[in-house]
Structure 1
Amino acid sequence: LWYVLFYPDKAYFINNPMKVFAFRDGGLAIQGGLFGGAAYAYFASKRQNIDFVDLADSTMPNLLIAQAIGRWGNFLNQEAFGQKVSESFFNGWPLWLKNHMFIDGAYRQPMFLLESSLNIVGFLLIYFLLKRVKKIKKGDYAFSYLLWYGIVRFVVEHFRSDSLMLFSLKSAQIVSVIFIIIGALGLLGVFKKNKAEDVLVLFDFDGTIADSNALIIDSFNQVFEKHFPEIEITREMEVSYVGPTLDYTFKKYLKLDDVDQYINEYREINFLLQKTSLTEIENATKLLEYLKSNKVKMGVVSSKWKDSLNLGLKVLDFDKYMDVVVGGDEVEKAKPSPLGILKAKDAVLPKAKKCYYVGDTVTDILAAKASGCISIALLGVEEIRQDLIDVKPDYLVEDLSEIIEIIKEVI
């Protein structure tokens, strides 16, 4: 349709309407394909609740490779050629290329080759150099594609002698100028909008925003030492306390079906320790203040029971930041099941464009992945550091303040 729209002899298609669909005769203009593909991707992304700009970032630079390959199709079809040149122009060139550039009784500039080469160069620059020269923000890859391809196509089109026209102007150059303007303004941040209202950040509690792992370990150890002094408590055992439900941990080490007595005793001990000894993870307040000031929705999803979770949030004065709190006793399955995260998301921002889950254990990251949220692993406990790396979260951070830079990319 793009080819038909800008074809010089409009009467040809008016008199032969079925020729509009004669794809085998050529006419598959790449710029028309880009607009058509972008339109389809936009509506499909809306329907699937996928962020369109993220989709564009992940796909558009790759188009340069596809276009580079496609230009060799133009070579085979003897299309996309330049001005007439003398035979000596091809001295030193491969004979097969020289012979195929003899078109309409004359040798032609191989503009397909120039554009194909520059498309590959553009792909390499965008993917491997761009991140070295500027901090990548949302949309940068897509805008870089528009800028680079716009410049390349504008220059190449100047030399081509088989261009589509709009009045006395080459249509591809008009579109290229538009691409260049949009790409340049986009990279300068002109189109950036505050999307904080579409962003949701959920946290695990213990070991993520609350420095409570030592309190958990102490609570378990007191119960074990009082009732089961014969159990040899190791560091590996202590590390395993953090993350799973109380029911799971007590049954794992006591080999009993009924552990309610020990759970209740643990909770009494842990409640007291939270009231007297609970502190925050370093820079937790800084991060929460940043998110709150930027109107980002927040919540906590933990395997901890709701009453204990609310107590810890109140002690740390973090309850004022949270839009939703989901405890382990409110869902049928604990992490790594995504039920808690999905429950929190549905309660606050079911159509969140970006949902992040921050945790410090493997089960946290698995739950985030299963929920479809972006996973951020806080590397806190040395013994499980490699386990967290191996599960491949979307982000690995050493300090909560690093998350500020992650969120800045999307708001």
Structure 2
Amino acid sequence: MFTSPGPELFQLGPFVLRWYGLLIAVAVLIGLNLSSWLARQRGLDANLISDLLPILVLAAVIGARTYYVAFEWDSYQRSWWDAFAIWKGGIAIHGALLGGSLAVILFCRWRRVSFWNVLDVLVPSVVLGQAIGRWGNFFNSEAFGVPTDLPWKLFIPAANRPGVFKTAEFFHPTFLYESIWNIGLFVLLMVLFRLGRQNKIPLPSGALSCIYLLSYSLGRIWIEGLRIDPLCLGGQPPFCDGGLRIAQLMSLSLMAIAGLGLFWLYGRKSPLPDPGLKKADPS
């Protein structure tokens, strides 16, 4: 059985250190070092990732929060200031991916480097960061699944339970499922990166990014089906009755895009169009 100790690690006067913020900081620090190492392995500028990171993190956080608030706008009508209270939780990975991707495209066009080469060295850090960040949901007692009596059940305080499940105490720890899935995907991406570097498998530019999108989305679809706090398009939580779960819809779209990208690379044996390079730039 899992039980959260609470969202705060410690408080010293007015200063409060929250688990969510600490985990995000740890993920960013690990991601910087890992992606910088992968960039050097791929022959990119050693300073490229450190130059990109502040822009990428800011764009990803803004994208993640904007995406979440846009679909939960009714919840912020009484206090619009809470829309900025990111330390309370409420960010969406698909918004982070959209905001981060736009930042990487603009950065690559500015620095005249391949978008796909940069993205390929970022995605292992991204998925590892997701695995770490999901534990923030645990400490905040949020983003859990339907009630369960499984041995690894998660206890949720009454104040955090939706009204329809007020009498239930134990729920699926979907944060744990996604964290484990992402760790497995991280291992896969690192193995593929190494095999590609050793020329043991063909791994053209962009392939690793497509594999990440396809694999992460596949896991997110079934995990999202267990959650009782989904972002809904027409319909209301916990099951989006009469509507669609946004995360599942986005995951299906990303799977289609990733599948098309892999077909382009391995079926047509052609390089992916690169949004980071202008037409006059060398490929």
TM-score bracket for this pair, using the shorter chain length: 0.5 to 0.7
Q: 1:30 to 1:16 in 2, by over 3 A?
A: same
* Inter-partner Cα distance in structure 2 for 1:128 and 1:194: 22
- Residue 185 of structure 1, aligned match among 244, 260, 269: 260
Contact residue 101 and residue 107 of structure 1 kept, 8 A? no
Contact residue 204 and residue 271 of structure 2 kept, 8 A? no
Count the aligned residue pairs.
Answer: 195
User: Match of 1:81, SS?
Assistant: coil
- Residue 37 of structure 1, aligned match among 100, 105, 109: 100
Q: 1:12 to 1:100 in 2, by over 3 A?
A: closer
* Inter-partner Cα distance in structure 1 for 2:118 and 2:134: 25
User: 1:49 aligned to 2:112?
Assistant: yes
> TM-score if structure 1 supplies the norm length?
0.43
Amino acid at match of 2:245: K
Contact residue 81 and residue 109 of structure 1 kept, 8 A? yes
Contact residue 51 and residue 353 of structure 1 kept, 8 A? no
* Inter-partner Cα distance in structure 1 for 2:272 and 2:154: 54
Q: 1:170 to 1:48 in 2, by over 3 A?
A: same
Offset at 1:71? 0.8
Contact residue 101 and residue 108 of structure 1 kept, 8 A? no
Q: 1:77 to 1:126 in 2, by over 3 A?
A: same
* Inter-partner Cα distance in structure 2 for 1:194 and 1:147: 16
* Deviations 1:252-285, CA, capped at 9 Å, x for gaps: xxxxxxxxxxxxxxxxxxxxxxxxxxxxxxxxxx
- Report what 1:148 is aligned to: 215
- Report what 1:123 is aligned to: 186
Structure 2, unmatched stretches of 5+, are 1-65, 162-167, 235-242
Contact residue 156 and residue 169 of structure 2 kept, 8 A? no
Amino acid at match of 1:188: F
Contact residue 214 and residue 255 of structure 2 kept, 8 A? yes
User: Match of 2:225, SS?
Assistant: helix
- The 4+ residue runs of structure 1 with deviation greater than 6 A are none
Structural RMSD (CA): 3.1
Offset at 1:11? 3.3
* Deviations 1:121-180, CA, capped at 9 Å, x for gaps: 111112214747841111001101100111011111011111111111111001100111
Amino acid at match of 1:186: G
Offset at 1:100? 5.7
Offset at 1:40? 1.0
> TM-score if structure 2 supplies the norm length?
0.61
Q: 1:42 to 1:111 in 2, by over 3 A?
A: same
* Inter-partner Cα distance in structure 1 for 2:85 and 2:119: 30
Percent same amino acid at aligned positions? 31
* Inter-partner Cα distance in structure 2 for 1:4 and 1:16: 12
Amino acid at match of 1:6: F
Amino acid at match of 1:77: N
Offset at 1:17? 2.6
Offset at 1:24? 2.4
**1:237-316 pair list within 5 angstroms:** none
- Report what 2:4 is aligned to: none
- Report what 1:161 is aligned to: 228
Indicate the structure (1 or 2) with the bigger Cα radius of gyration. 1
* Inter-partner Cα distance in structure 2 for 1:64 and 1:183: 16
- Residue 20 of structure 1, aligned match among 83, 98, 123: 83
* Deviations 1:297-343, CA, capped at 9 Å, x for gaps: xxxxxxxxxxxxxxxxxxxxxxxxxxxxxxxxxxxxxxxxxxxxxxx
Amino acid at match of 1:145: Y
